[in-house]
Amino acid sequence: MKDKATFTIRDVARRAGVSTTTVSRVLSNSGPVSAEARRRVEQAIQALSYRPSRMARSFRAQRSQFIGLIISDVENPFYTSLVRAVEDVAYAHEYSLLLCNSDEDLDKERTYIQFMADERVAGVIGSPASEAETSFAALFDARIPVVSVDRRSMRTPVDTVLLDNVAAAHSLTQHIIAHGHRRIAAILPSSGITSGRERLCGFLQAMEEAGIEPDTNLVYEGKGSEEFGRQTTHMLLDRSDRPTAIFAGNNLITLGVLRAIQERRLRVPDDLAVVGLDEMPWMSLLAPGITVAAQPIHEMGQLAMQILLERIAGDRRPPREVKMAPRLIIRSSVAGRPLPETVSFNGNNKRR
Protein backbone atom coordinates (compact mmCIF):
# COMPACT_ATOMS: atom_id res chain seq x y z
CA MET A 1 0.00 0.00 0.00
CA LYS A 2 1.11 3.57 -0.67
CA ASP A 3 2.36 5.75 2.15
CA LYS A 4 -0.43 8.07 3.36
CA ALA A 5 1.49 11.12 2.26
CA THR A 6 1.48 9.96 -1.39
CA PHE A 7 -2.26 9.39 -1.91
CA THR A 8 -3.79 11.60 -4.59
CA ILE A 9 -7.26 12.67 -5.57
CA ARG A 10 -7.17 9.93 -8.21
CA ASP A 11 -6.65 7.30 -5.50
CA VAL A 12 -9.68 8.59 -3.66
CA ALA A 13 -11.76 8.58 -6.84
CA ARG A 14 -10.66 5.04 -7.71
CA ARG A 15 -11.51 3.69 -4.25
CA ALA A 16 -14.89 5.44 -4.21
CA GLY A 17 -15.72 4.43 -7.77
CA VAL A 18 -16.37 8.00 -8.90
CA SER A 19 -14.67 10.59 -11.08
CA THR A 20 -12.02 12.99 -9.85
CA THR A 21 -14.48 15.80 -10.58
CA THR A 22 -16.90 14.32 -8.06
CA VAL A 23 -14.14 14.09 -5.45
CA SER A 24 -13.21 17.72 -6.09
CA ARG A 25 -16.83 18.78 -5.64
CA VAL A 26 -17.03 16.97 -2.31
CA LEU A 27 -13.75 18.51 -1.13
CA SER A 28 -14.78 22.03 -2.11
CA ASN A 29 -18.44 21.48 -1.18
CA SER A 30 -19.52 22.81 -4.56
CA GLY A 31 -21.45 21.42 -7.52
CA PRO A 32 -24.07 18.67 -7.64
CA VAL A 33 -23.11 15.37 -5.94
CA SER A 34 -25.57 12.61 -5.00
CA ALA A 35 -25.83 11.58 -1.35
CA GLU A 36 -24.55 8.10 -2.17
CA ALA A 37 -21.52 9.40 -4.11
CA ARG A 38 -20.69 11.82 -1.31
CA ARG A 39 -20.88 8.99 1.23
CA ARG A 40 -18.48 6.81 -0.80
CA VAL A 41 -16.03 9.69 -1.29
CA GLU A 42 -16.03 10.53 2.41
CA GLN A 43 -15.47 6.89 3.29
CA ALA A 44 -12.55 6.69 0.83
CA ILE A 45 -11.01 9.87 2.25
CA GLN A 46 -11.24 8.43 5.77
CA ALA A 47 -9.89 5.02 4.76
CA LEU A 48 -6.88 6.53 2.96
CA SER A 49 -6.38 9.33 5.51
CA TYR A 50 -6.22 11.59 2.48
CA ARG A 51 -5.39 15.26 2.95
CA PRO A 52 -5.77 17.55 -0.09
CA SER A 53 -2.68 19.43 -1.22
CA ARG A 54 -2.66 22.97 0.12
CA MET A 55 -0.98 24.23 -3.05
CA ALA A 56 -3.56 22.46 -5.20
CA ARG A 57 -6.39 24.02 -3.21
CA SER A 58 -4.80 27.43 -3.60
CA PHE A 59 -4.50 26.95 -7.36
CA ARG A 60 -8.14 25.93 -7.69
CA ALA A 61 -9.30 28.80 -5.53
CA GLN A 62 -6.94 31.29 -7.21
CA ARG A 63 -5.87 32.30 -3.71
CA SER A 64 -2.50 31.50 -2.23
CA GLN A 65 -2.18 30.04 1.25
CA PHE A 66 1.27 31.55 1.69
CA ILE A 67 2.34 34.74 3.44
CA GLY A 68 5.66 36.30 2.47
CA LEU A 69 7.83 37.57 5.32
CA ILE A 70 10.91 39.61 4.35
CA ILE A 71 13.15 40.48 7.30
CA SER A 72 16.52 42.19 7.38
CA ASP A 73 18.55 39.86 9.61
CA VAL A 74 17.39 36.37 10.53
CA GLU A 75 20.22 36.07 13.09
CA ASN A 76 18.92 39.02 15.09
CA PRO A 77 16.83 37.67 18.02
CA PHE A 78 14.37 40.54 17.51
CA TYR A 79 13.40 39.14 14.12
CA THR A 80 13.38 35.56 15.39
CA SER A 81 10.72 36.54 17.93
CA LEU A 82 8.85 38.55 15.31
CA VAL A 83 8.74 35.60 12.91
CA ARG A 84 7.34 33.38 15.65
CA ALA A 85 4.57 35.86 16.43
CA VAL A 86 3.60 36.24 12.76
CA GLU A 87 3.68 32.47 12.24
CA ASP A 88 1.39 31.83 15.23
CA VAL A 89 -1.36 34.01 13.77
CA ALA A 90 -0.79 32.82 10.18
CA TYR A 91 -1.00 29.16 11.16
CA ALA A 92 -4.20 29.74 13.12
CA HIS A 93 -5.72 31.03 9.86
CA GLU A 94 -4.32 28.18 7.73
CA TYR A 95 -1.52 30.16 6.12
CA SER A 96 2.12 29.13 5.82
CA LEU A 97 5.13 31.47 5.75
CA LEU A 98 7.71 32.02 3.04
CA LEU A 99 10.63 33.52 4.97
CA CYS A 100 13.29 35.60 3.21
CA ASN A 101 16.33 37.33 4.73
CA SER A 102 17.41 40.53 2.94
CA ASP A 103 20.66 41.11 4.91
CA GLU A 104 19.91 44.86 4.64
CA ASP A 105 20.76 44.50 0.93
CA LEU A 106 18.46 46.46 -1.41
CA ASP A 107 19.21 44.28 -4.44
CA LYS A 108 18.48 41.12 -2.49
CA GLU A 109 15.34 42.69 -1.08
CA ARG A 110 14.13 43.66 -4.59
CA THR A 111 14.68 40.08 -5.75
CA TYR A 112 12.55 38.73 -2.91
CA ILE A 113 9.80 41.30 -3.45
CA GLN A 114 9.61 40.34 -7.12
CA PHE A 115 9.61 36.65 -6.16
CA MET A 116 6.64 37.22 -3.86
CA ALA A 117 4.82 39.06 -6.64
CA ASP A 118 5.55 36.30 -9.17
CA GLU A 119 4.37 33.61 -6.75
CA ARG A 120 1.24 35.65 -6.02
CA VAL A 121 1.37 35.11 -2.28
CA ALA A 122 -1.68 36.15 -0.29
CA GLY A 123 0.16 39.00 1.40
CA VAL A 124 3.56 40.23 2.52
CA ILE A 125 4.97 41.52 5.80
CA GLY A 126 8.28 43.32 5.32
CA SER A 127 10.94 45.12 7.32
CA PRO A 128 12.35 47.56 4.72
CA ALA A 129 16.10 47.67 4.17
CA SER A 130 15.81 51.41 3.48
CA GLU A 131 13.12 53.85 4.51
CA ALA A 132 13.72 55.98 1.40
CA GLU A 133 14.58 53.37 -1.23
CA THR A 134 12.62 50.20 -0.49
CA SER A 135 9.66 49.93 -2.88
CA PHE A 136 6.76 47.49 -2.69
CA ALA A 137 5.46 48.62 -6.10
CA ALA A 138 5.79 45.14 -7.64
CA LEU A 139 3.45 43.81 -4.96
CA PHE A 140 1.03 46.69 -5.46
CA ASP A 141 0.94 45.96 -9.19
CA ALA A 142 0.05 42.34 -8.39
CA ARG A 143 -2.61 43.56 -5.92
CA ILE A 144 -0.90 41.84 -3.03
CA PRO A 145 -1.43 43.59 0.33
CA VAL A 146 1.63 44.64 2.32
CA VAL A 147 2.27 45.53 5.96
CA SER A 148 5.57 47.09 7.02
CA VAL A 149 6.84 46.15 10.47
CA ASP A 150 9.55 47.80 12.63
CA ARG A 151 10.36 50.30 9.85
CA ARG A 152 8.59 52.58 7.40
CA SER A 153 8.63 52.54 3.63
CA MET A 154 8.34 56.10 2.34
CA ARG A 155 8.10 55.22 -1.36
CA THR A 156 4.97 53.12 -1.09
CA PRO A 157 2.16 53.89 1.39
CA VAL A 158 1.43 50.74 3.40
CA ASP A 159 0.13 49.83 6.85
CA THR A 160 2.97 50.10 9.35
CA VAL A 161 3.49 48.63 12.84
CA LEU A 162 6.51 49.87 14.75
CA LEU A 163 7.91 50.91 18.11
CA ASP A 164 7.74 54.48 19.36
CA ASN A 165 11.50 54.72 18.89
CA VAL A 166 11.78 58.39 19.83
CA ALA A 167 10.15 57.78 23.23
CA ALA A 168 12.32 54.72 23.88
CA ALA A 169 15.63 56.46 23.13
CA HIS A 170 14.55 59.66 24.88
CA SER A 171 13.76 57.92 28.16
CA LEU A 172 16.88 55.76 28.16
CA THR A 173 18.96 58.89 27.68
CA GLN A 174 17.00 60.67 30.41
CA HIS A 175 17.77 57.75 32.71
CA ILE A 176 21.52 58.12 32.08
CA ILE A 177 21.40 61.89 32.58
CA ALA A 178 19.44 61.46 35.82
CA HIS A 179 22.43 59.57 37.22
CA GLY A 180 24.72 62.52 36.64
CA HIS A 181 26.30 61.53 33.31
CA ARG A 182 27.04 64.28 30.81
CA ARG A 183 29.54 62.71 28.44
CA ILE A 184 27.28 60.16 26.76
CA ALA A 185 28.02 58.20 23.60
CA ALA A 186 25.38 56.75 21.26
CA ILE A 187 26.00 53.75 18.99
CA LEU A 188 23.03 53.43 16.66
CA PRO A 189 21.73 51.61 13.59
CA SER A 190 21.93 53.59 10.36
CA SER A 191 19.70 56.66 10.10
CA GLY A 192 18.68 55.31 6.68
CA ILE A 193 16.17 53.10 8.51
CA THR A 194 13.30 54.27 10.68
CA SER A 195 14.58 52.84 13.95
CA GLY A 196 18.07 54.34 13.59
CA ARG A 197 16.85 57.82 12.63
CA GLU A 198 14.19 58.00 15.34
CA ARG A 199 16.46 56.63 18.08
CA LEU A 200 19.02 59.29 17.22
CA CYS A 201 16.25 61.89 17.41
CA GLY A 202 15.15 60.70 20.86
CA PHE A 203 18.74 60.72 22.13
CA LEU A 204 19.38 64.27 20.90
CA GLN A 205 16.05 65.54 22.28
CA ALA A 206 16.86 64.30 25.77
CA MET A 207 20.35 65.83 25.64
CA GLU A 208 18.97 69.17 24.46
CA GLU A 209 16.27 69.22 27.15
CA ALA A 210 18.96 68.64 29.79
CA GLY A 211 21.05 71.51 28.41
CA ILE A 212 23.85 69.16 27.30
CA GLU A 213 25.61 69.87 24.01
CA PRO A 214 26.05 66.46 22.34
CA ASP A 215 29.59 65.70 21.19
CA THR A 216 29.21 64.60 17.56
CA ASN A 217 32.43 62.60 17.95
CA LEU A 218 30.59 60.36 20.39
CA VAL A 219 27.68 59.55 18.07
CA TYR A 220 28.16 56.64 15.68
CA GLU A 221 25.77 55.17 13.12
CA GLY A 222 26.25 52.00 11.10
CA LYS A 223 25.10 48.44 10.56
CA GLY A 224 23.31 47.43 13.73
CA SER A 225 25.51 44.39 14.33
CA GLU A 226 27.41 43.02 17.29
CA GLU A 227 30.73 43.65 15.57
CA PHE A 228 29.80 47.27 14.87
CA GLY A 229 29.01 47.75 18.54
CA ARG A 230 32.23 46.05 19.60
CA GLN A 231 34.56 47.96 17.28
CA THR A 232 32.93 51.30 18.02
CA THR A 233 33.20 50.76 21.77
CA HIS A 234 36.90 50.01 21.44
CA MET A 235 37.34 53.28 19.51
CA LEU A 236 35.48 55.19 22.21
CA LEU A 237 37.56 53.60 24.96
CA ASP A 238 40.76 54.57 23.14
CA ARG A 239 39.89 58.25 23.48
CA SER A 240 41.62 60.31 26.15
CA ASP A 241 38.24 61.95 26.83
CA ARG A 242 36.22 58.78 26.61
CA PRO A 243 32.53 58.79 27.56
CA THR A 244 31.22 57.76 30.96
CA ALA A 245 28.09 56.15 29.51
CA ILE A 246 26.98 54.44 26.27
CA PHE A 247 23.50 54.22 24.79
CA ALA A 248 23.40 51.12 22.55
CA GLY A 249 20.77 51.40 19.84
CA ASN A 250 19.69 47.76 19.52
CA ASN A 251 20.19 44.34 21.07
CA LEU A 252 23.15 43.26 18.91
CA ILE A 253 24.94 46.57 19.41
CA THR A 254 24.44 46.16 23.16
CA LEU A 255 26.05 42.72 23.00
CA GLY A 256 29.01 44.18 21.08
CA VAL A 257 29.41 46.99 23.62
CA LEU A 258 29.48 44.52 26.50
CA ARG A 259 31.95 42.27 24.70
CA ALA A 260 34.35 45.17 24.16
CA ILE A 261 34.07 46.20 27.81
CA GLN A 262 34.86 42.63 28.83
CA GLU A 263 37.85 42.52 26.49
CA ARG A 264 39.19 45.69 28.13
CA ARG A 265 38.64 44.10 31.55
CA LEU A 266 36.43 46.99 32.59
CA ARG A 267 33.29 46.79 34.67
CA VAL A 268 29.71 47.98 34.21
CA PRO A 269 28.70 50.37 35.74
CA ASP A 270 31.85 51.20 37.72
CA ASP A 271 33.96 52.04 34.67
CA LEU A 272 31.24 52.64 32.09
CA ALA A 273 27.44 52.90 32.29
CA VAL A 274 25.46 51.06 29.58
CA VAL A 275 21.83 51.07 28.49
CA GLY A 276 20.35 49.29 25.49
CA LEU A 277 17.28 49.33 23.30
CA ASP A 278 15.67 45.86 23.06
CA GLU A 279 15.24 43.34 25.82
CA MET A 280 16.88 39.93 25.50
CA PRO A 281 16.48 37.12 28.09
CA TRP A 282 20.19 37.08 28.92
CA MET A 283 20.24 40.77 29.89
CA SER A 284 18.58 40.05 33.25
CA LEU A 285 21.10 37.27 33.96
CA LEU A 286 24.16 39.50 33.78
CA ALA A 287 25.76 40.99 36.86
CA PRO A 288 24.75 43.72 36.79
CA GLY A 289 21.61 43.41 34.69
CA ILE A 290 21.32 45.83 31.77
CA THR A 291 18.77 48.65 31.79
CA VAL A 292 16.77 48.51 28.56
CA ALA A 293 13.76 49.81 26.70
CA ALA A 294 11.92 46.62 25.76
CA GLN A 295 9.91 46.33 22.57
CA PRO A 296 6.57 44.46 22.57
CA ILE A 297 7.88 42.23 19.78
CA HIS A 298 5.26 39.50 19.98
CA GLU A 299 2.42 42.00 19.97
CA MET A 300 3.96 43.84 17.01
CA GLY A 301 4.17 40.64 14.96
CA GLN A 302 0.66 39.55 15.86
CA LEU A 303 -0.82 42.94 15.04
CA ALA A 304 1.03 43.12 11.70
CA MET A 305 -0.41 39.74 10.72
CA GLN A 306 -3.92 40.66 11.89
CA ILE A 307 -3.84 43.84 9.79
CA LEU A 308 -2.61 41.83 6.80
CA LEU A 309 -5.47 39.36 7.23
CA GLU A 310 -7.92 42.27 7.19
CA ARG A 311 -6.38 43.52 3.94
CA ILE A 312 -6.54 40.04 2.41
CA ALA A 313 -10.23 39.90 3.38
CA GLY A 314 -10.86 43.11 1.45
CA ASP A 315 -10.29 46.00 3.88
CA ARG A 316 -9.85 49.10 1.70
CA ARG A 317 -9.31 51.77 4.35
CA PRO A 318 -6.35 54.16 3.89
CA PRO A 319 -3.01 52.80 5.19
CA ARG A 320 -2.47 53.40 8.89
CA GLU A 321 0.51 53.54 11.20
CA VAL A 322 0.46 51.97 14.66
CA LYS A 323 3.15 53.01 17.17
CA MET A 324 3.59 50.69 20.12
CA ALA A 325 4.85 51.88 23.49
CA PRO A 326 8.16 50.55 24.82
CA ARG A 327 8.67 49.39 28.41
CA LEU A 328 11.54 50.74 30.49
CA ILE A 329 13.19 48.02 32.58
CA ILE A 330 15.57 49.58 35.09
CA ARG A 331 18.34 47.35 36.37
CA SER A 332 21.81 48.23 37.68
CA SER A 333 23.94 49.11 34.67
CA VAL A 334 23.98 52.87 35.33
CA ALA A 335 25.80 54.21 38.38
CA GLY A 336 25.74 57.75 39.74
CA ARG A 337 23.51 59.84 41.92
CA PRO A 338 20.16 58.28 42.88
CA LEU A 339 17.40 58.10 40.29
CA PRO A 340 14.50 60.51 40.89
CA GLU A 341 11.25 59.01 42.10
CA THR A 342 9.61 59.36 38.69
CA VAL A 343 11.11 58.89 35.24
CA SER A 344 8.87 60.07 32.41
CA PHE A 345 8.25 57.15 30.08
CA ASN A 346 4.74 57.16 28.66
CA GLY A 347 3.42 56.24 32.11
CA ASN A 348 4.66 52.69 31.71
CA ASN A 349 7.72 52.27 33.93
CA LYS A 350 9.05 49.13 35.48
CA ARG A 351 11.86 48.92 37.98
CA ARG A 352 13.70 45.84 39.05
The CATH number of residue 31's host domain is 1.10.260.40
The CATH number of residue 244's host domain is 3.40.50.2300
The reply to whether 187 and 159 lie within a common domain is: no
The reply to whether 65 and 27 lie within a common domain is: no
User: How many Cβ atoms from other residues are within 10 Å of residue 199's Cβ?
Assistant: 30
Span of 29-33, 285-289, 324-328 with lowest mean pLDDT: 29-33
The reply to whether 125 and 97 lie within a common domain is: yes
* 180: Cα separation from own chain's centroid: 34
The reply to whether 78 and 170 lie within a common domain is: no
The reply to whether 179 and 249 lie within a common domain is: yes
The reply to whether 248 and 313 lie within a common domain is: no
The reply to whether 260 and 340 lie within a common domain is: yes
Read off the DSSP letter of residue 291. E
Domain that holds residue 24: 4-52
Q: How far apart are CA 174 and CA 185, in angstroms?
A: 13
The reply to whether 317 and 208 lie within a common domain is: no
Count of structural domains, the chain: 3
pLDDT tens digits, one per residue of 271-315: 999 999 999 888 878 888 999 999 999 999 999 999 999 999 999
The confidence band for 48, taking pLDDT boundaries of 50, 70 and 90, is confident
Backbone phi, then psi, for 212, in 5-degree steps? -105, 125
Q: Which residues contact 352 (CB under 8 A, 6 or more apart)?
A: 289, 329, 330, 331
The reply to whether 169 and 159 lie within a common domain is: no
Q: Which residues contact 203 (CB under 8 A, 6 or more apart)?
A: 169, 170, 173, 186, 188, 214, 219, 247
The reply to whether 152 and 176 lie within a common domain is: no
The reply to whether 109 and 131 lie within a common domain is: yes
Own/partner contacts of 314-319, CB < 8 Å, gap of 24 or more, are 318/157, 319/157, 319/158, 319/159, 319/160
pLDDT tens digits, one per residue of 209-232: 999 999 999 999 998 999 999 999
The reply to whether 222 and 275 lie within a common domain is: yes
344 pLDDT exceeds 50?
Answer: no
Let me know: does 117 contact 141? Beta carbons within 8 Å: yes
